[in-house]
Amino acid sequence: MPKLVERESAPRPSLLSSAPALAVQFFLIPLAVVGVIVLVYGGFRMLLTTERTPAELLSDVRTGGRERRWPAAYELSRVLDDPETERRNPRLGESIVQAFVDSEGDDPRVRRYLALAIGRLTLPPPGAVAELTAALEDPDTETRISVIWALASLGDESTVDEIESMYRSDDAGVRKMAVYALGALAGSGDHATLRNALDDPAADVQWNAAVALARHGRDEGVTVIRRMLDREYVTRMVTRRGNADDSLDPVSEVMVSGLQAAASLRAGELRQPVQALSETDENLRVRELAIKTLDLLNQSTRNLIR
């Protein structure tokens, strides 16, 4: 019978000898992964937050690929919100107008944003208004809307007749912007187009017409303004949905415009709906503006009595 031999068990590794392996497995590797994530995230953040110069944006507009050109044009229109951009780049306006001319027949998105960029110039170069006016015949509807806005923003009264002609468009968006522009421009003739627009088939064109007339101190749109102060009615008419970051929902936007028009006209006949809004409307901004408007209307009444 074979002799049983007692074997020694294998030596057990000490905790100290296994510590480096544990550190690599449970600490250093996860730390390295986190570090890589932080570096990648930081790189993307730098790409997103680094402001590109107007010259770089214009270069992309002219020579970039299809999916780079229109975002560059959009960004260019955005940076012009800061008047310092134009001051720091004195030839920028000329370059944008030339890029707009060169964009004819090209990607409509590029042309739209370049039109908006021209409209934001504080010192538009000679020829800017003429190029925009020529673009009122652009086949793209959204481009025509952007061009009308730009002309209104530049404020050249010589374009009133051309903008009035745009009200004959079959597109409600073009008519709406034309009416808005006629309200923004000082020389709008006898306001016949604005008065006709009070009976437009589209409610928001009517609203713009009433507000535009009020800007010119004319009260022909008071009936329409009264409807703008009726939340139930406006809710039925508004089809646009607001964005989550909007300060006002689309219905309240219309009502605020109506209150502003009522205030500018000192329309005493609108006191009752204004007072109702000041007391019961669900939107705090609308209530606050209604209170201020009501105060103006009451002041006007007191001045008439004296």
Q: Examine residue 167 and state whether it is found in any structural domain, yes or no.
A: no
pLDDT in tens, 166-209: 999 999 999 999 999 999 998 766 789 999 999 999 999 999 99
Overall number of domains in the chain = 2
pTM of the model: 0.79
What is the C-alpha to C-alpha distance for residues 228 and 254, in angstroms, rounded to an integer?
Answer: 6
Q: Is residue 193 domain-resident?
A: no
Q: Whole-angstrom Cα distance, residue 151 to residue 9?
A: 93
Structure tokens at 96: 């944008």
User: Do residue 67 and residue 146 come from a single domain?
Assistant: yes
Q: Is residue 169 part of a domain?
A: no
Return the half-sphere exposure (C-beta side, CA atoms, 13 A cut-off) of residue 47.
6
Containing 174, the helix (H) or strand (E) segment is helix 172-184
Domain that residue 275 falls in: 221-306
In a domain, 12, yes or no: no
Please write the tens of the pLDDT for every residue from 11-47: 555 544 455 554 445 455 555 555 555 455 455 444 4
56 and 150 inside one domain = yes
Each residue of 116-163: pLDDT tens digit?
999 999 999 999 999 999 999 999 999 999 999 999 999 999 999 999
Separation between Cα atoms, residue 198 and residue 59, nearest integer Å:
45
Please state the φ and ψ torsions of residue 112, each to the nearest 5 degrees. -60, -50
Q: Is residue 140 part of a domain?
A: yes
Which one of 115, 132, 154 terminates a domain?
A: 154
Which CATH number does the domain housing residue 117 bear? 1.25.10.10
Q: Per the domain annotation, does 168 fall within a domain?
A: no
- φ and ψ at residue 295, rounded to 5 degrees: -60, -40
Element (H, E) at 40: helix 29-49
DSSP classification of residue 104: T
Report which of 291, 296, 210, 208 is spatially closest to residue 283, judged by C-alpha positions.
291
pLDDT band at residue 305 using 50, 70 and 90 as cut-offs:
low
What's the pLDDT at 65?
Answer: 87
Given 154, 176, 202, which residue is the final one in a domain? Answer: 154
Nearest of 180, 187, 184 to residue 202 by alpha carbon: 180
**Residue for token pair 């609308």:** 286
Domain end call among 101, 119, 154: 154
DSSP state of 107: -
pLDDT tens digits, one per residue of 144-157: 999 999 999 999 99
- If you average pLDDT over residues 105-109, what whole number do you get? 93
- Do 225 and 146 lie in one domain? The reply is no
Question: What do you get for the CA distance between the two ends of the chain, in Å?
Answer: 134
**Do residue 150 and residue 244 come from a single domain?**
no
Q: Which among 148, 264, 173 is positioned nearest to 217, based on CA atoms?
A: 264
- For residue 11, being part of any structural domain is answered with no
Q: Is residue 191 part of a domain?
A: no
